[in-house]
Amino acid sequence: MARTKKFQLSRNSNSLRLQKIQKLDSAYTNKFIEMIIQRLMRNGKKKLAYRILQKSLTQIRTKTQQDPLLVVEKAIRNITPSVEIQTRRIGGAVYPIPIELDISRGIPRAIGWILIAAKKRSGSILAINLANEFIDASKKVGNAFHKKEEIHKIADANARIVKK
């Protein structure tokens, strides 16, 4: 996995420090894959996160006999929420208020839910758990999908507060 390094001057005119830009040469040129790698990465170990994701994509291919990128994309689209819950204080009481969620904020939230659900699964290998969670999410089952459904139920129950 080769990395290209470019240096660019910082946009801050007061600072002359250089910002390092890295681009990952990956076989999967997909924005969702790059976002998942960024969320998987811990302590700057991008190569390890890439390997974990690569193993989970091969697991998806063997279990479903489908293109793993399509399964991942379908899973993320199924999990992406359309609302979020924010708490507001109205007259001394705190109410959960549903707010419409932009897709640019919904996709990272969906990826986070999928990764959390994969880490909570029983089993010691994260790549297999991640593959199983992607497969379940593409079929509209699994812990991440239940999280989305829970948020939407709370939003539906509290939609009357917004109308006041």
For residue range 90-140, what is the model confidence (pLDDT) as tens digits? 888 888 899 999 998 999 999 999 999 999 999 889 999 999 999 999 999
- CA separation for the pair 58, 77 (Å, rounded): 20
- CA separation for the pair 104, 32 (Å, rounded): 12
| Residue 6: per-residue pLDDT | 52
**What is this structure's pTM?**
0.78
Is the pLDDT score of 16 beyond 50? no
Is the pLDDT score of 62 beyond 70? yes
Tell me the three state secondary structure of residue 24. strand
- Confidence grade of residue 9 (pLDDT, cut at 50, 70, 90): low
Q: What are the structural domains, with CATH classification, of the chain?
A: 38-163 (1.10.455.10)
DSSP of 85-143: EEEEEETTEEEEEEEE--HHHHHHHHHHHHHHHHHHSSSS-HHHHHHHHHHHHHTT-SH
